């Protein structure tokens, strides 16, 4: 007997038929003699609609009220799945974040889980009950509902798996594992039977949304075994997904593990800032204080004693970024702000970059051959990212996938 946390994403619970299928899959796991807790997301598209409503009323809305609104999607699906499971004769009950409770910090909209007391859930699972827990949500120390950032149900599932000492956390989604890149835009992407936590972490952090970054971080820290599986394939295919493992468990190491893209960043250029010490601090200090995460940064060469500072932020953070920079205008001393949402960040990730030279250069050469201009670039130990025009996303990802020898034969 094992204890398993099964997580189902938005497309897996998109409508009542899908919810019935999820219930059957859960029943199958229980029939195998396992103890099961389930985590679900909102129905596909629902969270986007809820976010859209908040933005339509006010782009600079109160993040606490945003959480109250967007957390509702998961309330619907936990109740429906519990009903579907009960219909199959399974003793199931829904749990909202605050009922567990999933305690988080007070960073509304991007809250971090601080603790989950699994004692009650464990006792109930041992007594044969199936907890159906709302993903994506928790409760802050201010006793208000919080959400964990987009895609946060993955993190809910891994945190729950750690809290109830589960043997495994199975993430069921609409693809049958982690691929060398998004299989929806590169049909020749290859499924990976195993991927190291480190590479998955890096891929997730640069846009491979199959797992939320924090879920991988948490799995690594809490030593949770995570599998990514399809909720659409035949149940017997369950062993066919991708397992997250330690680096030394991967026998045939590739230089590059995968390629990711993110179309949800925006580029900001601060024009003509005085080229003197302290000016970067004047720009990025107020943004840090406002909890705006700055990603890529480039400072252009100066010719007339001024310089242009270009950086990227999450597109959803753009309105707040502009407010902060407008306020700091006098202190920074720039002439104008230029913004561009028509960009995409393409990243190549692989442990092998530590020991192989020329990986970055191959990106630059491959994109140049396709006539794609690189606007900003950044590198880390196991990753190279470039910012390009959004229209070229698919072309760039496909070309790089081929150039790094990742295409399935």
- By a kind-dependent CB cut-off of 5 to 8 A, residue 150 interacts, out of ligand ADP, Mg ion, ligand ASP, none, with ligand ASP
- Out of 118, 140, 151, 183, point to the residue binding Mg ion (CB under 5 A): 151
Of 112 and 401, which has the nearer Cβ to ligand ADP? 401
Burial class (CB in 10 A: 0-12, 13-18, 19+), 404: buried
- Quick one: which segment of 6-14, 332-340, 346-354, 370-378 binds Mg ion (CB under 5 A)? 6-14
Binding to ligand ADP by residue 181, rule CB under 6 A?
yes
Of 263 and 329, which has the nearer Cβ to ligand ADP? 263
Between CA 131 and CA 145 the distance in angstroms is 20
- Out of 136, 179, 261, 311, point to the residue binding ligand ASP (CB under 6 A): 136
- Classify 285 as helix, strand or coil: helix
Of 9 and 207, which has the nearer Cβ to Mg ion? 9
Between CA 177 and CA 13 the distance in angstroms is 18
Binding to ligand ASP by residue 41, rule CB under 6 A?
yes
Distances in Å between the Cα of 182 and the Cα atoms of 12, 198, 255, 258, 264 are 18, 18, 18, 9, 15
Binding mask 67-106 for ligand ASP (x = CB under 6 A): ------x---------------------------------
Binding to ligand ADP by residue 178, rule CB under 6 A?
yes
Of 95 and 136, which has the nearer Cβ to ligand ASP? 136
- Out of 10, 131, 152, 350, point to the residue binding ligand ADP (CB under 6 A): 10
Question: Which helix (H) or strand (E) is 128 found in, with range?
Answer: none
Of 4 and 43, which has the nearer Cβ to ligand ADP? 43
- Quick one: which segment of 102-110, 145-153, 313-321, 374-382 binds ligand ASP (CB under 6 A)? 145-153
CB-facing half-sphere around the CA of 41: CA atoms within 13 A: 29
Between CA 369 and CA 374 the distance in angstroms is 12
DSSP annotation of 176 reads S
Q: In what order do the strands lie in the sheet with 258-262?
A: 258-262, 343-349, 383-389, 376-380
- By a kind-dependent CB cut-off of 5 to 8 A, residue 42 interacts, out of ligand ASP, Mg ion, ligand ADP, none, with ligand ASP
Least distance in Å: CB of 26 to ligand ADP?
16
Binding to Mg ion by residue 73, rule CB under 5 A?
no
* Residues 248-287 within binding reach of ligand ADP (CB under 6 A): 258
Of 118 and 151, which has the nearer Cβ to Mg ion? 151
Q: In what order do the strands lie in the sheet with 336-340?
A: 294-299, 306-314, 265-274, 336-340
The residue behind tokens 């330690």 is 246
CB 249: neighbour CB atoms within 10 A? 10
CB 136: neighbour CB atoms within 10 A? 29
- Classify 382 as helix, strand or coil: coil
Strand partners, 18: none
Torsion of CA 210, 242, 9, 145, to 10 degrees: -70
Binding to Mg ion by residue 135, rule CB under 5 A?
no
Least distance in Å: CB of 394 to ligand ADP?
12
DSSP for 313-351, written as a single string: EEGGGHHHHHHHHHHTHHHHT-SEEEEE--EEEEEEE-G
- By a kind-dependent CB cut-off of 5 to 8 A, residue 199 interacts, out of ligand ADP, Mg ion, ligand ASP, none, with none
- Quick one: which segment of 90-98, 111-119, 152-160, 307-315 binds ligand ASP (CB under 6 A)? 152-160
**What is the binding site for ligand ADP (CB under 6 A)?**
9-12, 41, 151, 173-175, 178-179, 181-184, 208-210, 258
**What is the binding site for Mg ion (CB under 5 A)?**
9, 151
């Amino acid at each position: 007997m094992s204890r398993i946390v099964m997580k189902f994403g938005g497309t897996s619970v998109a409508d009542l038929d899908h919810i019935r299928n999820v219930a059957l899959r859960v029943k199958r796991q229980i029939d195998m003699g396992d103890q099961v807790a389930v985590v679900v997301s909102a129905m596909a598209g629902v969270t986007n609609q809820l976010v859209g409503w908040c933005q339509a009323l006010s782009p600079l809305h109160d993040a606490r009220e945003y959480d109250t609104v967007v957390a509702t999607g998961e309330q619907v699906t936990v109740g429906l799945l519990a009903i579907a499971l009960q219909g199959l004769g399974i003793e199931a009950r829904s749990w909202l974040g605050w009922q567990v409770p999933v305690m988080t910090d007070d960073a509304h909209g991007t809250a971090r889980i601080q603790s989950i007391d699994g004692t009650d859930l464990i006792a109930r699972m041992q007594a044969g009950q199936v907890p159906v827990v709302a993903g994506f949500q928790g409760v802050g120390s201010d006793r208000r509902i919080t959400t964990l950032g987009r895609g946060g149900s993955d993190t809910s599932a891994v945190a729950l798996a750690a809290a109830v000492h589960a043997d495994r956390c199975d993430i069921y989604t609409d693809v049958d594992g982690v691929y060398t890149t998004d299989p929806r835009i590169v049909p020749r992407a290859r499924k990976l039977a195993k991927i190291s936590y480190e590479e998955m972490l890096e891929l997730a952090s640069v846009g491979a949304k199959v797992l939320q970054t924090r879920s991988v971080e948490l799995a690594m820290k809490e030593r949770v075994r995570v599998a990514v599986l399809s909720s659409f394939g035949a149940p017997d295919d369950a062993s066919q997904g991708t397992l997250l493992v330690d680096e030394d468990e991967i026998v045939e190491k590739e230089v590059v593990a995968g390629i990711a893209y993110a179309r949800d960043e925006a580029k900001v250029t601060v024009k003509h800032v005085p080229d003197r010490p302290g000016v970067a601090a004047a720009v990025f200090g107020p943004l840090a204080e406002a909890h705006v995460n700055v990603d890529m940064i480039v400072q252009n060469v100066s010719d007339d004693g001024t310089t242009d500072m270009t950086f990227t932020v999450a597109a959803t953070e753009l309105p707040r970024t502009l407010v902060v920079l407008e306020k700091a205008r006098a202190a920074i001393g720039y002439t104008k702000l230029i913004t561009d949402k028509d960009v995409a960040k393409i990243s190549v990730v692989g442990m092998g970059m530590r020991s192989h030279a020329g990986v970055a250069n191959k990106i630059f050469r491959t994109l140049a051959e396709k006539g794609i201009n690189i606007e900003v670039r950044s590198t880390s130990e196991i990753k190279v990212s470039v910012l390009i025009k959004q229209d070229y996303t698919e072309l760039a990802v496909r070309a790089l996938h081929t150039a790094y020898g990742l295409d399935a034969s």
